[in-house]
């Protein structure tokens, strides 16, 4: 699924450049703890979060996330948007809460990181084990 498809499903607004609409998404994770994102996600994951700080974009860079969706109508400051544009990282905002946004994407067929490998195998290449801890994977 692509960012442009996600935008329709969750009624989101793109905060970054339109060239990001073609970014491919392999899985989704809902989390507000960036330490959980670092520990339990993989490349090309779409992060759903309520955190709008620079740390969210920095975490996305480390993990090679597909993009970030800010839930509950939240929107980051210009510094965060500029940083994401420089990195080619799509940022979206939706009025829907985290739970509903996760549900919409799950029903559309997107899976969570733990579902891609049954939550037990190591993520090849990252050295991180997928254990399904306290992260709202969808």
Number of folded domains in the chain?
1
**C-alpha span between 28 and 102 (Å, rounded):** 8
Read off the pTM. Answer: 0.83
Average of pLDDT values for 35-52? Answer: 95
* Enclosing domain of residue 45: 3-137
Question: Facing residues of 47 across strands?
Answer: 29, 68
**What is the model's pLDDT at position 135?**
53
**What is the model's pLDDT at position 129?**
40
**C-alpha span between 97 and 77 (Å, rounded):** 20
| Structure confidence by residue, pLDDT tens digits, 93-133 | 999 999 999 999 999 999 987 765 544 343 444 444 443 44
**What is the model's pLDDT at position 50?**
97
Query: Where residue 120 sits, what CATH number does that domain have?
Result: 3.40.1390.20
On average, the pLDDT of the chain sits at 87
């Amino acid at each position: 699924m692509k960012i442009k498809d996600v935008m329709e499903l969750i009624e989101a607004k793109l905060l970054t450049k339109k060239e990001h609409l073609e970014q491919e998404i392999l899985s989704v994770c809902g989390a507000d703890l960036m330490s959980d994102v670092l520990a339990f996600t993989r490349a090309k994951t779409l992060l759903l979060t309520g955190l709008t700080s620079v740390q969210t974009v920095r975490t996305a860079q480390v993990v090679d996330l597909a993009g970030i969706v800010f839930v509950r109508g939240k929107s980051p400051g210009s510094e965060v948007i500029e940083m994401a544009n420089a990195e080619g990282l799509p940022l979206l905002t939706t009025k829907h809460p985290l739970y509903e946004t996760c549900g919409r994407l799950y029903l559309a067929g997107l899976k969570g990181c733990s579902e891609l490998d049954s939550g037990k195998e190591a993520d090849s290449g990252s050295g991180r084990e997928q254990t399904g801890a306290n992260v709202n994977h969808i």
